[in-house]
Structure 1
């Protein structure tokens, strides 16, 4: 119903405000200026059809154009199409060109790329058509719903989702409620058709809204007293999200004041996907406040959406939809391909999907179990974004489940048949350093997990449990306890087993929300503490932070043990020692000497099978000649005796880059310390100073070791 040109286009400036006559319908079409027109595209003059294009609709609204519909519901032209009335929508496109050629008005045609909207089901071309619709004014509803979030009545997690919610509600548009569908809640609107008057179904005065026809008739009689009329209910349905928005209270008997509504509304937490935060969550909040005066829930947690390993949305036609059951139970490649054939995919789509499956899962999908899948998905959950899900990652979590099983098996296998755990967990006061250390790590893991769960940072909770289980309980403490259980006194064995029990019992309960099946199965095999009749881990007390187990000194002292064993393993690997490794621990102060001496067996067992001899030197002692060094910290260093004759020059060349790197690190840390402002807390400053001290010790150890190799060259 108009022709748009750019207002600065010199070719058409003189035509602005004038009209052109349609060659077939003879209607006058206004010529108007619009900044969105691309002057260099085509002729620079664009026909605007507001009734049949979304972009043109906006232009038509802005320039007050006439909205003319030329399509019938069956896709044929109506009377507004003039001589083309009755023709099919695709046929008329060719007819128009033919008729323009007959009139001598056809200039030419050119191919241009464009986006054609297609129906997701039929794949047919969609033709936008104007239809009378029901709309809801949203701003009056949005304001209280926005306030409920800004004042903290409702908390939305993660923060990115809350910001998105606020942005939507602050810029909300009116809502088109009606849908031309066969299913759903029918619009409760009735058209009052007067027997002695004009018939305009777009006249709002002739519509009444009511739950049923009887109540609609009562309203119509009051509105048109003494008039003869008939009622016709609008055949349209309400938007699905309108019906869904009523769910929190409509399912509880509303609008009646039922016991369920009184007791169960509002609820506490809603967990949903961030992609329907506006479509569903916002509507529930708005409707809940409007219809009941209460928010429907007090917290919304938006989980992540799962995509494939390449970040693509899962689609049947792409073949990248992963069935969770296939991950839990495992499936061969042939089974995956067979699933594609059960459905309505076209042959080409099946071929493309099968090709992707063969590339992604050449050996099928290994059986991983429900717990590994659950733990993996929770661990992926960071900030409510999308998850690029890689089945290969599942294998590591399946192995982690096996690690938990093996750790439990080890503990149960070492508990005496008549073993009774202490009445309470925690410290007895007789624990060794490794025991105090693992209990310290346990209580801090419980603290981190509880804090993460409270903040809905689920991936942090899984990371804390994973860290404790794998790197502290299994890799360190269980390995450390083997020597005590084998060679310790009866009292040492009893203390070690009691600590093992506590460390495992709490670890299983801590892991239970993330791996319910495995932890229940294993926990049922643990002996119970006296007086504990808990039937299931589901109802067992969840581990909490226990200050009596918090022991920073044990962590500091045991870090010496771990640092020494790590240093020895590193040197053994670097020097390719395969047997009879001989190492020395060099404490640099008396406290470190006492700790290393007392825990020499622990250092040795944690250093690996290639170490046969470990000596703890006194602080005043130096290592023997022919040793390479690994600086652990400002408290301790370790040395490894090189076997056979030593090429001093070769060791010097290997050590020089390490010494240079250490010197650079010292300079960098000195710069960091010098740049700290006066406002920095004493805790932060002390931490940075200790780090500098460690780096300086590392540099000094390399310098001394280098000097010893230089001395060897002179001998």
Structure 2
């Protein structure tokens, strides 16, 4: 077995989980000291019509090895179709009376490899998926990847510049898009590989990419339908503009840097740091004679004064009552600017008089709309000055800031500089200082959509967990603004809108409206499509396809139904939409969750899901956001990243400081268990690798407990066909009652999204009751009648591979099917409902083995750390992935 076949040697962001140290990336089991895979007769599998699972029945390694436990099982699970909702049933038959559980993975961006935030998502979602599958529901978890327009374009541009010294403009649009598709093919496969390594029990045959042909058709259809209903329109509004990207960007891509006063910041494209956090005061000369020859204003963005259209004061400010109806003169352009009286002005800010630049400030734009001011852009898409007098024309904006300051001083109009705390908007992708710009863009009219989304939560049709997020939901929905959905990029869904240019002076602008496909000059073969709108203009007009692309959140907002084939009425759409649950981080409640709800209601008339669980955000041990440039993503392959030299050095220093002895091998089991244990509702996670290592020791304790029992069983052991309650010893009854309590606690916790409660129930039972009391006190001799598979099956929802391996070392008898759990539930009802599990596998009083295996079916440890129960028990049948009856529903007995 070469672990490289499973992606264990690839250069991935999660390499630290596997303890790889950046070597060749190809490891074999002998290199791990594990020997060759053993042989095992699996007669029971052929009876079930299943293929052969991994061979795990040779003597187990002396200590727990994540590589050994986790390497073997996933390909067999996937190959047998255990993760498909069709497994073992016919979807066309009578609906499952126990219901359907459907969830979509928030599609990771194809910008690179996964980080620990994705690992948290997988740990939670796989736990819930396996738990519902074990409860007997028809279960579907759909994977996918997002094209991530801006983010992906930026990383590909960086690689192109680093490797070939070219910009995308030098390469050209079509050639550049070819580069991005090659990147997607490489990174998309790697992401899916990582998800498999995490044990995610997804239906890979339904995996999708947001720019697949079917998904692209859904995006076009959605745009057209919303436009026809008047919900999409084009207008000139203020947007966040990245001069480095030459595009508008989403609010979520804006980082707000708070400054306490005068601060020098490094800005991409400038050799010297730029000063921020100061107010520059200068004088506008008043027109006409009077006692006040000037009006002093103050600004933090002096370069925009070239685009000023007015000066405003508060209408009740006594200092400026005499200026009603007056004008000031622009000292550099000579234009007359009105003095406005508007209540938006804060009399306590600066001099109480503010300059109004409608093209470069959102508040000023609104003032301009109220007072009928012009909108003249003076900063172009690349950040240079435009529509301004010499010598400022063509200057980079921050150079113009310095030049203007010197000009004002020279003309005697400079009135001083004072420190001013402020917030500077930074583009998270390019690290450029964002520029507010008034640019024609496409928008979604959101008020009516938001009212419907808010009403759904108020009625209880859509439930948010934790409920504290409802306040945030209502704040956003009740105060929503229209959504800018166009981006000036090359990578993404091109907007399906077209413009006509008519080369005929007799035609009034706006007179002709039409639509077409794409291209440039129209020939006579397209004339029939335009009909009477064009008359005799054939040969005098051109149709151009809008070059902008749609915001990534628009296509991802369609994901819950486009993934099932919408707008076609497919069988999957009928069966699996709406979904059951949306699970994601609380940081994208508005950017993604709200937009899915709004678009789902608008386009399908249904909520896309019934519940939303919002998990915490993973941060490092110091509380910092995970970032490659900080060196805290636990990514060992920094040298092959796109980081610039300064970021690369900072990342190296961060890793050396936090991990002076290197990153210890922990394993997927320990990582998943740790993440679930950390996920207290409403709190962020400061993840310390030391804590993950602690749960690795717990995995080792599970391993050693299983080995202890397996040695006691011996090779000739066979399960009993029936458990006799009368033969149970007091110790057996006690440990089964403890297991019953753990199972009930775990089930209740998962139902309430209390993942720390689930891990505590499992961990406490195994360590403090089963190992420290039951085994230590020497009750192994009574194991012949214990007959419970409880613990491993509960573990199986949390650490799926472990039970499969740990108990696979006995014989094919451990793989036998013993009927529906519910059939024998009453037998041990007086022992806390554990009789079902006892009869399930007939493993007798196996102590560790019996208890371990049972927990897998119960969905406790198996949902949280999937690989381990499979490894511990051999996972020789579909039992580990399919339903044995309503296990969880019987604990009330």
CA distance in structure 2 between the aligned counterparts of 1:142 and 1:543, rounded to whole angstroms = 51
1:60-459 to 2 correspondences below 5 Å: 60-61=368-369, 65-79=373-387, 81=389, 84-110=392-418, 112=420, 114-196=422-504, 221=531, 229-323=541-635, 336=636, 339-383=637-681, 385-424=683-722, 428-459=725-756
CA distance in structure 2 between the aligned counterparts of 1:521 and 1:117, rounded to whole angstroms = 52
For the residue of structure 2 that corresponds to 1:463, the secondary structure is: helix
Change (3 A) 1:115 1:447: closer
Indicate if the aligned counterparts of 1:273 and 1:304 stay in contact, CA closer than 8 A: yes
The C-alpha deviation readout for 1:611-668, integer Å capped at 9, x for no partner, is xxxxxxxxxxxxxxxxxxxxxxxxxxxxxxxxxxxxxxxxxxxxxxxxxxxxxxxxxx
TM superposition shift of 1:458: 2.3
CA distance in structure 2 between the aligned counterparts of 1:197 and 1:548, rounded to whole angstroms = 93
- RCO higher in 1 or 2 (8 Å CA, sep ≥ 6)? 2
TM superposition shift of 1:311: 1.4
Change (3 A) 1:424 1:198: farther
TM superposition shift of 1:88: 4.4
Q: Does residue 804 of structure 2 align to residue 520 of structure 1?
A: yes
The C-alpha deviation readout for 1:541-570, integer Å capped at 9, x for no partner, is 99999632139xxxxxxxxxxxxxxxxxxx
Name the structure 1 match of 2:768.
471
CA distance in structure 2 between the aligned counterparts of 1:432 and 1:199, rounded to whole angstroms = 98
Indicate if the aligned counterparts of 1:509 and 1:540 stay in contact, CA closer than 8 A: no
TM superposition shift of 1:398: 1.0
TM superposition shift of 1:514: 0.8
For the residue of structure 1 that corresponds to 2:567, the secondary structure is: coil
Indicate if the aligned counterparts of 2:630 and 2:651 stay in contact, CA closer than 8 A: yes
TM superposition shift of 1:513: 1.1
Superposition RMSD in Å: 3.8
Structure 1: give runs of 5+ residues left out of the alignment: 324-335, 486-492, 552-715
* 2:829 aligns with one of 535, 547, 550: 547
CA distance in structure 1 between the aligned counterparts of 2:514 and 2:409, rounded to whole angstroms = 52
CA distance in structure 1 between the aligned counterparts of 2:392 and 2:744, rounded to whole angstroms = 76
Indicate if the aligned counterparts of 2:715 and 2:811 stay in contact, CA closer than 8 A: no
Indicate if the aligned counterparts of 1:6 and 1:37 stay in contact, CA closer than 8 A: yes
The C-alpha deviation readout for 1:211-260, integer Å capped at 9, x for no partner, is 76899987864666676654232221111111222233334443333444
TM superposition shift of 1:308: 0.5
Indicate if the aligned counterparts of 2:728 and 2:785 stay in contact, CA closer than 8 A: no
- The range that moved more, 64-73 or 466-475, is 64-73
TM superposition shift of 1:70: 1.9
CA distance in structure 1 between the aligned counterparts of 2:424 and 2:507, rounded to whole angstroms = 37
Indicate if the aligned counterparts of 1:188 and 1:209 stay in contact, CA closer than 8 A: no
CA distance in structure 1 between the aligned counterparts of 2:659 and 2:395, rounded to whole angstroms = 52
Name the TM-score, length of structure 1 as normaliser.
Answer: 0.64
CA distance in structure 2 between the aligned counterparts of 1:523 and 1:437, rounded to whole angstroms = 23
Between structures 1 and 2, the one with greater helix share:
1
Name the structure 2 match of 1:19.
327
Change (3 A) 1:139 1:39: closer
Indicate if the aligned counterparts of 1:192 and 1:220 stay in contact, CA closer than 8 A: no
CA distance in structure 2 between the aligned counterparts of 1:440 and 1:318, rounded to whole angstroms = 49
Q: How many residues align?
A: 519
Name the structure 2 match of 1:703.
none
TM superposition shift of 1:7: 4.7
CA distance in structure 2 between the aligned counterparts of 1:498 and 1:544, rounded to whole angstroms = 16
For the residue of structure 2 that corresponds to 1:70, the secondary structure is: coil
TM superposition shift of 1:134: 1.3
CA distance in structure 1 between the aligned counterparts of 2:467 and 2:448, rounded to whole angstroms = 25
* 1:511 aligns with one of 795, 815, 825: 795
CA distance in structure 1 between the aligned counterparts of 2:655 and 2:600, rounded to whole angstroms = 45
Change (3 A) 1:410 1:56: same
For the residue of structure 2 that corresponds to 1:352, the secondary structure is: helix
TM superposition shift of 1:314: 0.9
TM superposition shift of 1:43: 3.5
Change (3 A) 1:38 1:282: closer
Name the structure 2 match of 1:533.
817
1:477-516 to 2 correspondences below 5 Å: 477-480=774-777, 482=778, 484=779, 493=781, 495-499=782-786, 501-502=787-788, 505-516=789-800
TM superposition shift of 1:348: 4.1
